Amino acid sequence: MRRYLARQLVQLVVVIVGISMLAFAILHVIGDPVLLLLPQNAGKAEYERYHKLLGLDKPIYVQYWKFASRAIQGDFGKSWYTDTPAFRLVLQRMAPTIYLTLAGLVMALLIALPLGIVAALKRHSFVDNLCTMIAVAGQAMPIFWLGIMLIIIFAVRLKALPASGYGTWQHFLMPAFTLGAFLAPLTMRLVRSGVIEIMNMEYIKTARAKGLGEWMVVVKHAFRNACIPVITVLGLQFGQLLGGAIITETVFAWPGVATLTVESIRNQDFPVVQCAVVLLALIIVSVNFLVDMIVGLIDPRIRVGA
Amino acid sequence: MKAVGAGGEVAIKGVGDFSPEPTAARASLRRLWRLKWGMAAAALMLLIVASAVLAPWLAPYDPLAVDIQHRLAPPVWMDGGTPKHLLGTDQVGRDLLARMIYGGRVSLIVGVTAVLISATIGVLTGLTAGYFGPRVDWLIMALVNVMLSFPFVLLALAVIAVLGPSLLNMIIVLAVADWPLYVRVIRAETLAMRERDFVTAGRALGMSHARIVFRQIFPNLVSVIVVIATLQVARVIILESFLSFLGLGVQPPTPAWGNMLGEGRVYMLNSWWIAAFPGLAIFVTTLAINLMGNALRDWLDPHMKL
C-alpha cells in the first residue's frame, strides 16, 4: 500500500505542475498581457514600460517560477476588472459549484442505479432495450439545450420552478437534473455491465444455493461488488462532471466558478481565469487521487497490479 | 471498460451465458438486423450532410435576409404562423429554416476538420508511446493524463479566451483538446501488437522502425481509429455548439446552431422556437453520429474495447 501511495503521489505532483504550466502558458505564451492591459492607442514607450513592470523581459522560466511560487501561496494577482484578489473572487464562487456538482452526482445515481440494475436483471427484455435507448439518446443530448428546454417547459410555461438563480431547493431541481442527465447514461451502462458480470460469479451461485432470497442476493452480494467499477469510473470522470457543471451553470445563471470564468473571459480578466482554471484542476486531481486510494483499499488487486 | 455493443450486449471474457453458436446464415442475418439503427442513422446523416452542402439551393431564403413584417413569427402550425416561414422567424425576422440549413455547415466543418487533426496527432503520439519504449511512453502518458484529467470545456474556454473567437481558432482549440483520447487506446493496442510474432519477424528481417509502425502495426489499428474518430465528431460538435452558444465560437450574424441557440435563449420567454429548433438539430446530428459509430464498432469488431 505504501508503494502504491507513493506512486500515486508522484503522479499527483506531476499533474499539478503540468496544469500550472498550462495555466501560465495560456496567458504568457499564447497571449501578450501588455497588449491586453494597455489601451489600443498606447505608444511604444508605454508598452516597453509595462513590459518591464510586469517582468516580461525576464527569461520565461524566471517568469514561471514567480507565477508558481506566488500561486502556491494563493496569490494569483488582482483581478484587472474589479481590483480585488483573484483568489478571493474565485473562492467565493466555489461553494455553489461544489453543491451543484454533488447534486448532479446524486441525481445521476438516482436515475442510473435503479435503471441499470433492472436492465441487468431483465436482460434483453423490453425494459432493458428501453434503458439502452434512453442511454444512447442521453449521450447525444447537448445538455445546454436540455437545460433551456426545461426552463421553457417548467419555468416559462408551467411556472412551477424558478428559471435561474440560486438559493432554495427549487433552484436546485432543474440544474441538478440537467447535470444528472449528462452523467447518467455512462453510469447506467457501468452499473448494468457490472451487475451482469457479477451475477455470473461463483459466489452468487453459492448465495443462491444456500437459499438466500433473490432480493438479498442482488442487494447484499451483487450490488456491493458492482459498485467498485462505478466508483472508479465516476471518480476518474469527475473532471468531465465538473465540465458538465460548467455548462449547466452558464445555462441557469448559477453563481458558481464557471459563470465567473465565462464573465472573466468576456472581460479579458486573465488573473481570475488563471486562478479558476488552477483551482478547478486542483480539485479534480485531488478527487482522482482520493478515488484511487479508496479503490486501492477496497480492491487489493488494483494496487498490486497497476 | 467492458465492450458494450449498440444492442447493449456485453462481452465478458471467460464468463458466458450466451446461447449456442447460431448457424452462419442466421448469424449474418442477426448482424444485419443489429445494424438497422446504424443504417437508419447513416441515411439520416447523409440527409443532414446533403442539406448542408446544398444549402444555397435548398434554403427557402438567404439566412441573413430580414423580413421585418414577420419578426418573431411562430412556426406555421401555430396561431399567427405564416406559410412563408415554415419554422418561424427570429427576433429580426430571419427565416429559421434557412438559418438551420446553413447552420449545419459550421458544425460539420468544425467537427470533421478538428477530428481529422486531432486523430492525426493522437494516433502518431499513441504509436510513438506504444512502440518506442518506456521512457518516451512515460513522458507522453504524463502529458496525456494531465490533459485527460482536465475538463475539455475548461481548456477550450481558457484558450479561446486568449486567441479570441473565430472559426479557425475554434478548430485549433478543439483539435488540441481532443487528441489525448486517441493516445490511450492506440498506445495500449500498439503495446500489445509490438510483442506479436509478425512484428518480431519483421524486425528479424531487418525492416525499419517506420516500416514496422506504418505498414505492420498501423493497418491493424485502422478500425479502432475509425470508430473513435466517428464518435468524437459528435463530441466535438456538441462542444463547438456550446462555445458558439456562449458567444465564444462562430460570431453572429453567421448562422451556426450554437449561436442561434444562444440568441434564442434571450427570447425564450415568448418565442421558444428560436432556441428549440437549433438545439434539436444538434441533438439529432450527434445522435445519428453516435448510432453510426456504435454500429460501425459492432460491424468492424464486436469485441473492440472502447
Contact at CB, B152 and A243, closer than 8 angstroms: yes
Q: Is the Cα dihedral B30, B36, B39, B41 positive or negative?
A: negative
pLDDT of residue B38: 85
Is the CB of residue B190 less than 8 Å from the CB of residue B126? yes
Contact at CB, B238 and A284, closer than 8 angstroms: no
Beta bridge partners of A85: A78
Q: Note whether ipTM > 0.90 here.
A: no
pLDDT of residue A300: 66
CA A78 to chain centre: 26
- Stretch A42-61: mean pLDDT, rounded? 77
pLDDT of residue A27: 67
Contact at CB, A26 and B158, closer than 8 angstroms: yes
**Segment B239-282, tens digit of pLDDT:** 999 988 988 888 888 889 998 998 888 888 888 888 899 999 99
pLDDT of residue B294: 86
Interface check for A253 against chain B (CB to CB < 8 A): the answer is no
Is the CB of residue B93 less than 8 Å from the CB of residue B73? yes
Contact at CB, A15 and B145, closer than 8 angstroms: yes
CA separation for the pair A76, B32 (Å, rounded): 58
Name residue, grid cell 489499428: B221
DSSP helix/strand/coil, B3? strand
**Segment A199-225, tens digit of pLDDT:** 777 888 888 888 877 777 777 777 777
Q: Which of A243-247, B1-5, B130-134, B285-289 has the highest mean pLDDT?
A: B285-289
Query: Over chain A, what is the mean pLDDT?
Result: 81
Contacts of B154 in chain A (CB under 8 A): 242-243, 246, 261, 277, 280-281
B299–chain A nearest CA distance, Å = 18
Largest CA distance in chain B: 78
Task: Tell which wins on pLDDT, A36 or A182.
Answer: A182
Interface check for B164 against chain A (CB to CB < 8 A): the answer is no
Interface check for B173 against chain A (CB to CB < 8 A): the answer is no
pLDDT of residue B111: 93
Interface check for A139 against chain B (CB to CB < 8 A): the answer is yes
> For residue A105, what is its C-alpha cell?
452526482
Residues in contact with B146: Cβ distance below 8 Å, sequence separation at least 6, in sequence order: A14, A15, A18, A19, A22
Inform me whether the pLDDT recorded for A4 exceeds 60.
yes
- The amino acid at residue A105 is L
CA separation for the pair A74, A24 (Å, rounded): 15
- Within 10 Å of residue A229's Cβ, how many Cβ atoms? 19
Q: Omega into B253 within 30° of 0, i.e. cis?
A: yes
Contacts of B140 in chain A (CB under 8 A): none
Mutate to test the interface with A, among B157, B170, B297 (most CBs of A within 10 A): B157
Inform me whether the pLDDT recorded for B23 exceeds 80.
no
CA separation for the pair A254, A104 (Å, rounded): 13
**Segment B192-251, tens digit of pLDDT:** 888 888 888 988 898 888 888 888 889 888 888 998 999 899 989 999 999 889 888 888
Interface check for A246 against chain B (CB to CB < 8 A): the answer is yes
Q: CB burial class (10 A; 0-12, 13-18, 19+) of residue A157? A: exposed
A250–chain B nearest CA distance, Å = 8
- Stretch A92-108: mean pLDDT, rounded? 90
Packing angle of the helix pair A169-199, A86-121 (nearest 10 deg): 40
**Segment B67-112, tens digit of pLDDT:** 888 788 888 788 877 788 888 888 888 888 999 999 999 999 999 9
CA separation for the pair B83, B75 (Å, rounded): 8
Give me the helices (H) in chain B, please: 24-34, 36-53, 55-58, 96-131, 133-148, 152-163, 167-178, 180-194, 197-204, 209-211, 218-245, 257-266, 273-300
Interface check for B281 against chain A (CB to CB < 8 A): the answer is no
pLDDT of residue A29: 63
The model's confidence at residue A31, banded by pLDDT at 50, 70 and 90, is: low
Interface check for A151 against chain B (CB to CB < 8 A): the answer is yes
Inform me whether the pLDDT recorded for B306 exceeds 90.
no
Contacts of A128 in chain B (CB under 8 A): 8
The model's confidence at residue B120, banded by pLDDT at 50, 70 and 90, is: very high
Is the CB of residue B92 less than 8 Å from the CB of residue B71? yes
DSSP helix/strand/coil, A59? coil
Interface check for B160 against chain A (CB to CB < 8 A): the answer is yes
